[in-house]
Amino acid sequence: MKLILLGAPGAGKGTQAEVICEKLSIPAISTGNIIREALRNSTELGLKAKSYMDSGKLVPDDVVIEIIRERLSKEDCKNGFILDGFPRTVPQAEALDRMGIVIDRVIDIEVPDEKIEARMSGRRVCGKCGASYHIDYKPSRDGVTCDACGEKLVQRKDDAPETVRERLRVYHEQTEPLKDYYRGTGKLRVVIGQEEVADTTRETLKALEA
């Protein structure tokens, strides 16, 4: 199954991607995670992306398209994959089509802006391995350190309220048009993000079959 997860920043795409990844044994590919890892390792890509990411802007299309082209050519993508956070613009979606990749389903997770702003303030991330948590919806075992590596959890710089508002603006302007792009293909399914993660997951799994 080749899947795309669409939705505003903080709608819960990453969490749903992890669940589907387990369930279907296909890799979850997050452009945000790939870029953050490049940042932690101070690679050329990381340095190029930093100012865009920190200010809530999108990293230029050609940069992320190359990241995805490379990632999708790996062996583990042969039987399918989940794209979390790509495509985010119409040119990115067109590039995916040009790569000859036929997507089976696009799941759009809808959460209203007011809820997003509140949710983002509770997000935490591990600065060492990149695992993400939420103080209410997905806390780590002790609430302060990473379950996977024990590092102290921190807030992402781009989760600051002003930056979140900019990311939402960018989402509505550049990413939301993708709903129409994929609605036309008959592959789009809309899932309303619920208060409880498990409830959203149930809806997502239904949407995979329907």
Active-site residue flag, 123:
yes
146 or 209: whose CB is closer to ligand ADP? 146
Given the residues 2, 123, 124, 189, the one annotated as active site: 123
DSSP class per residue in 96-118: HHHTT----EEEEEE--HHHHHH
52 binds, among ligand ADP, Zn ion, none (CB under 5 to 8 A by kind): ligand ADP
Residue 58, binding choice from Zn ion, ligand ADP, none, Cβ under 5 to 8 Å by partner class: ligand ADP
Question: How is residue 89 written in tokens?
Answer: 């613009």
DSSP 3-state of 45 = helix
Detail the DSSP E strand segments found in 14-90.
28-30, 81-84
144 forms part of the interface with Zn ion (CB under 5 A): no
- Taking residues 95 to 134 in sequence order and writing x for each that binds Zn ion by CB under 5 A, - otherwise, the string is -------------------------------x-xx-x---
- Which of 26, 103, 106, 146 touches Zn ion by CB under 5 A? 146
102 binds, among Zn ion, ligand ADP, none (CB under 5 to 8 A by kind): none
Annotated catalytic, 156?
yes
**What is the Rg, in whole angstroms, of the alpha carbon atoms belonging to the chain?**
16
Q: What residues make contact with ligand ADP under the rule CB under 6 A?
A: 9-10, 13, 30-32, 35, 52-53, 56-59, 64, 85-86, 88, 92, 158, 167
Query: Cα–Cα distance between 13 and 155 in angstroms, integer?
Result: 18
Distances, alpha carbon 155 to alpha carbons 5, 53, 93, 126, in Å: 23, 14, 30, 9
The count of chain residues that interact with Zn ion, using the rule CB under 5 A, is 8
Distance CA 210, CA 207 (A): 5
**Structure tokens belonging to residue 192:** 């309303």
Which position among 13, 119, 124, 189 bears the catalytic label? 13
Q: Which residues are catalytic?
A: 13, 88, 123, 156, 167
